[in-house]
Structure 1
Amino acid sequence: MRLNLCVCVVGVCLRTSSECVCVCVCVFVCVCMYICVCVLMWAVFVRLLIFVCVCVCVCVCVCVCVCEAACAYVIVLMAVYWCTEVLPLSVTALLPTLLFPMMGIMTSKDVCMQYLKDTNMLFVGGLIVAVAVEHWNLHKRIALRVLLIVGVRPALLMLGFMGVTAFLSMWISNTATTAMMVPIALAVLEQLNGPPCVPAGGGPAEEPPAPPKEKAGHGLRALPMSLPVENGCGQLEMEELSGEEEEEERRRMCKGLLLCVCYSASIGGIATLTGTGPNLVFMGQLKQLFPQSGDVINFASWFAFAFPTMILMLTLAWFWLQFVFIGFNLRKTWGCGAADTEKSRAAYETIREEHGRLGPMRYGEMSVLVLFVLLVALWFTRDPRFIDGWATHAFNSQAEFVTDATAALFVAVLLFVLPSEPPHFLCFWRRADPGSKTVHTLAPPLLTWEVTQKKMPWNIVLLLGGGFALAKGSEESGLSRWLGDQMMPLHSIPPWAIVIVLCLLIATFTECASNVATATLFLPILASMSIGVNPLYIMVPCTLSASFAFMLPVATPPNAIVFSSGYLKVSDMAKTGIVMNIVGILCITLAINSWGRLLFDLDTFPAWANATTTV
């Protein structure tokens, strides 16, 4: 009855079907126009509001003439901009060059000098070497070779991927490492589980996955379940259930292998000073805030502390991911007592074919490998602390003339000088054709500036500079001293408890902001909290925590790369990542209170911590 009434009303209002169509189209167009106008107006409103807030706050700070408040305003403003990304991160990092001179905190000359310090050059030199490694596919050769060694048993395969990814992330970009390893992982999974599988609701969707269907380039396909049935319907139901369980097991394997790649990329970066941005931010701000600290943190001392921490955390992460996604069935995951299957042999052959496509190692690859090993050796032996290094004997007897940046730039320059092909006089064993008229041209160098310019992340250099400018501004304005006075009540709390709370805070904050921006914002404040405590005891754990972005796809580029493959849901990363954050903080707490205490002599308050204006 109600339906008939509705039909009558509609019939009265709209006499013809053409009128109905016209009205529907008009309504749809109006709604779309309204949405577009709202979106455009909102974008304009947000940008206008940002501009007005900047102008108003600058005027207020200039009129009040309180340097501490003005510097605090700049820090808060940059924190909001970095979190919301209303401006590009590197553009936000340039704000101190505009605001500090206008507010009378620092001169323009002094601010600009913070953007190209020794730490920035260390970063540039290390990245140039990393670009050469990527350019010659040396990282891919290493990765495939290790995977051929560990095999394709699920547990060992995951261990191999995690070990290779973590090792490569120590030296090259976490993002580049993940981008290289994910296609290899997908190719291996395709051979292990059959051609392409069904993504388990990838993207932001949180609903259960749709019934299995083939999708080009993604995932694993369910095996056909049309097996012979001898015992009626009961046997068929058992076979269908077994097929569903097998498909779920494959999806879990996909998720576990992809997550292990992005997690190990973030974990591996903490092991070296040049492995990830927060480490360099810490080194630069330590020298900025505590000028008398000298060479207390260099490549060798950081590696001695962070590498065991990385190994411990990587091992625990492997156990956790294996427990969640694979299980501890010795026969299935480790292959104990099991014969090689056709799929495992096919997966192994896939890795072998990829390795074979690289061909024999060329002269250029060998040269880059030698230079890479040379750089690592120079870093480790420059000042190993337990003995005098080569820099102390040759250059640094009077002052610290040579730093880790010097070694990095020395090797980086060699990459643009040495040829990518063996010189003619070294090819004496090759017999030239008597009738040939070969013209020997100059071989191109191992690395060209065009390649470097395309692959170099220059925005990180500006981010580092912005952090150093903020630290210097906090010192010059007196904000650091004021923060130190406000933190006096925390002196009664045990330092280890403060460290745990701060690590939790930073690990949470870095899920929403760039890890470099997080370290840049927090480290000057943390230095002010080091009242009667060695600053390294607080700053080192918090620096490592800035790299623990495991929960959200937007937290770090490796997470986004893995999430974009379509196999993961946000809930998968969140449930696994929250445990990873807790495990990481526990590992850091153990490290800083055990071998870190001995390595950095944390039981004593160093004299260099007093030689600063921050406390």
Structure 2
Amino acid sequence: MASVHVPLNRIGIGVALVWFVGVLAIGPTGDLSSPASRMLAIFGAAVVLWITEAIPLSATSILVILAEILLVSDQALVSIDDFEGRPYADYFATLAHPVLMLFLGGFVLAECAAKYRLDRNLAGVLLRPFGTSPKAIVAGLMAITAVLSMFMSNTATTAAMMAVVLPVAASLDPADRVRTGLILSIPIAANIGGLGTPVGSPPNAIALGRLADEGIRVDFVRWMGLAVPIVLIVLAAAWFLIVRRYPAQATSIDVRIGGSFDRSREAVILYVTFAATILGWVSEPLHGVPSAVIGFLPVVVLLATKVFGVDDLKRINWHVLWLVGGGIALGLGVSDTGLDDWLVGLVDWGSLSTVLLATTLAVVALVMSTIISNSATANLVVPIGVSLATSAAVDLDPLLAGVIIALSCSLAMALPISTPPNAIAYASGHVETKDLAVVGAVVGVIGLVLVLYVAPPIWEAVGLL
């Protein structure tokens, strides 16, 4: 008899439906209240759909928002006695959360930079001081990629830098291992650089959104103060590993990229807006204007001046914004219904030391992000981790919990499927799974040790926590 192959997406949808309907049918039991049981049905279904990717990740996010409106908001189809749900408009509003506006500004700047070749021209200018030494070229590529990925999406940065590196790699001897090192350095540096700023990667935004809901505001510079030192150390370790593992046969590499900067009216407006936005972000403590407001300014300016058109707007990664919005909505629902308290109560967290608890959260985030989207992982782990930290059961700073989880998610880069930058490098044909597995795993472990055991005491000593 022939075996029947059931696609994973059908299995995921089936399991999610069974969980959702089953939990709703069982209803509240023991310490699980009626609002929390409804939220548990939503949360469990979201876990299954995000892990299996049975439907697009962003589709799961907006499904979460709709389910929360219909089940636990003030417009729930069936009301719950003694529970006044959050206004349904608040769940819709997560799709325009300030953190998403901050990300939108970063996406618009990234699209414009690619459109007017600002990214490649900047790379060409910044690479010149590194000369022609293979080790120096790898260092330069990683430094530039990391810096760009702090203010542009990791995916956009990787795509731009791969366009720079691939012709250079193709000109080298096929037997020269530095070819692999050059290409591998781009996604690794992009992943690491994404740790550095709130707009660097979606997990950062998800953590900031959840912390904001708890009344903990982290400005742009404070996040950089927490993360940039880690970026520098991990980046240096990654460079050392790559140049040792992929030594060059060639004595020099000629990298000629970029060209003359576009001097059209539109390009000049972009240059000024780009510089002003970054200056506004890093000077936030001086002027007090929220980074989300500053991030929205380039959207308005570039659209109004026609530097960024309607067709360009279509290329924005709206699905990423919706994915983050769904994660923020999930955090609201988990907190409002008391599901977080119930989940926290399932384990005697108080018996764990603060270090062991933080390590558990970080390892779970790192392992999950290695095999599924780091954004999906952050959506699932951040709400629980921050809620756990705000409970009286444990002695863990909520800000520390959020930062550790977000950074751990972005440190997962050991497989081609772990991050979009990895997938882009793997698709080039010059990087194999084993290359990513070795370098990504070592870099991830180094970063995890820094985030968990080295950085927190320093953060506390200098007043960042």
AA partner of residue 404 (structure 1): S
Gap change, CA 1:479 and 1:260, over 3 Å in 2: same
- In the alignment, the residues of structure 1 paired with residue 14 and residue 202 of structure 2 have an alpha-carbon distance, to the nearest angstrom, of 31
Query: Which of 36, 39, 56 is equivalent to 1:71?
Result: 39
Aligned to 2:156: 176
Aligned to 2:383: 524
- In the alignment, the residues of structure 1 paired with residue 366 and residue 103 of structure 2 have an alpha-carbon distance, to the nearest angstrom, of 23
Query: Which of 269, 287, 290 is equivalent to 1:390?
Result: 287
Aligned to 1:149: 129
CA shift at 1:116, angstroms? 1.8
Residue 371 (1) aligns with residue 273 (2): yes
Query: Which of 316, 319, 324 is equivalent to 1:464?
Result: 324
> SS in structure 2 opposite 1:57?
helix
Aligned to 1:53: 18
AA partner of residue 199 (structure 2): T
CA shift at 1:599, angstroms? 4.3
Aligned to 1:557: 420
AA partner of residue 298 (structure 2): V
AA partner of residue 145 (structure 2): T
CA shift at 1:187, angstroms? 1.2
Residue 449 (1) aligns with residue 346 (2): no
AA partner of residue 297 (structure 2): F
> SS in structure 1 opposite 2:460?
helix
Contact 2:39 2:72 in 1 (8 A): no
Aligned to 2:147: 167
CA shift at 1:310, angstroms? 0.7
CA shift at 1:148, angstroms? 2.8
CA shift at 1:130, angstroms? 2.1
CA shift at 1:151, angstroms? 2.5
Note the aligned Cα RMSD (angstroms). Answer: 2.6
Contact 2:169 2:183 in 1 (8 A): no
Contact 1:182 1:261 in 2 (8 A): yes
CA shift at 1:414, angstroms? 1.5
Contact 2:158 2:424 in 1 (8 A): yes
- In the alignment, the residues of structure 2 paired with residue 257 and residue 61 of structure 1 have an alpha-carbon distance, to the nearest angstrom, of 56
- In the alignment, the residues of structure 1 paired with residue 95 and residue 58 of structure 2 have an alpha-carbon distance, to the nearest angstrom, of 12
AA partner of residue 191 (structure 1): S
Aligned to 1:316: 237
TM-score (norm 2): 0.88
Gap change, CA 1:373 and 1:104, over 3 Å in 2: closer
Aligned to 1:264: 189
Aligned to 2:180: 255
Contact 2:194 2:200 in 1 (8 A): yes
> SS in structure 1 opposite 2:152?
coil
- In the alignment, the residues of structure 2 paired with residue 264 and residue 51 of structure 1 have an alpha-carbon distance, to the nearest angstrom, of 36
Contact 2:369 2:418 in 1 (8 A): yes
> SS in structure 2 opposite 1:164?
helix
Contact 1:106 1:476 in 2 (8 A): no
Gap change, CA 1:499 and 1:143, over 3 Å in 2: same
Query: Which of 284, 291, 300 is equivalent to 1:404?
Result: 291
Contact 2:238 2:443 in 1 (8 A): yes
CA shift at 1:564, angstroms? 1.0
Aligned to 1:490: 349
CA shift at 1:50, angstroms? 4.7
Give identity over the alignment, percent. Answer: 27
CA shift at 1:157, angstroms? 1.2
AA partner of residue 58 (structure 2): S
Aligned to 2:114: 134
Gap change, CA 1:47 and 1:84, over 3 Å in 2: closer
Gap change, CA 1:44 and 1:500, over 3 Å in 2: closer
AA partner of residue 498 (structure 1): L
CA shift at 1:47, angstroms? 7.2
Aligned to 1:607: none
Aligned to 1:514: 373
Gap change, CA 1:262 and 1:45, over 3 Å in 2: closer
> SS in structure 2 opposite 1:175?
helix
Deviations 1:434-456 (A, max 9, x none): xxxxxxxxxxx322122122x20
Aligned to 1:278: 203
CA shift at 1:557, angstroms? 0.8
Query: Which of 386, 411, 421 is equivalent to 1:548?
Result: 411
Gap change, CA 1:482 and 1:600, over 3 Å in 2: farther
Contact 1:273 1:280 in 2 (8 A): yes
Contact 2:20 2:41 in 1 (8 A): no
Deviations 1:162-204 (A, max 9, x none): 01111111111111111122232221122232xxxxxxxxxxx
> SS in structure 1 opposite 2:422?
helix
Contact 1:165 1:264 in 2 (8 A): yes
Gap change, CA 1:317 and 1:120, over 3 Å in 2: same
Matches within 5 A, 1:75-224: 75-104=43-72, 107=75, 108-193=88-173, 220=174
CA shift at 1:377, angstroms? 1.6
Gap change, CA 1:366 and 1:577, over 3 Å in 2: same
The list of structure 1 runs, each at least 4 consecutive aligned residues, that deviate by more than 6 angstroms after superposition, is: none
CA shift at 1:360, angstroms? 5.9
Gap change, CA 1:160 and 1:564, over 3 Å in 2: same
Contact 1:106 1:473 in 2 (8 A): no
TM-score (norm 1): 0.68
Deviations 1:303-352 (A, max 9, x none): 1221111111101111111222228xxxx68x6xxxxxxxx4xx52xx33
Gap change, CA 1:304 and 1:478, over 3 Å in 2: same
Gap change, CA 1:59 and 1:533, over 3 Å in 2: closer
Gap change, CA 1:570 and 1:496, over 3 Å in 2: same
Residue 304 (1) aligns with residue 304 (2): no
Gap change, CA 1:98 and 1:451, over 3 Å in 2: closer
AA partner of residue 408 (structure 1): G
Contact 1:305 1:599 in 2 (8 A): no
Q: Which runs of 5+ in 2 are unaligned?
A: 76-87
- How many residues were matched structurally? 446
Query: Which of 234, 258, 272 is equivalent to 1:355?
Result: 258
Gap change, CA 1:91 and 1:45, over 3 Å in 2: closer
Residue 414 (1) aligns with residue 301 (2): yes
Deviations 1:62-94 (A, max 9, x none): 587732233223222111111111101111001
> SS in structure 2 opposite 1:416?
helix
Aligned to 2:80: none
Aligned to 1:436: none
CA shift at 1:501, angstroms? 2.9
Gap change, CA 1:365 and 1:98, over 3 Å in 2: closer
AA partner of residue 586 (structure 1): V
Contact 2:9 2:55 in 1 (8 A): no
Higher radius of gyration, 1 or 2: 1
Deviations 1:429-480 (A, max 9, x none): xxxxxxxxxxxxxxxx322122122x20001111111111111111111112
Gap change, CA 1:173 and 1:101, over 3 Å in 2: closer
Aligned to 1:4: none
CA shift at 1:362, angstroms? 4.3
- In the alignment, the residues of structure 2 paired with residue 259 and residue 498 of structure 1 have an alpha-carbon distance, to the nearest angstrom, of 33
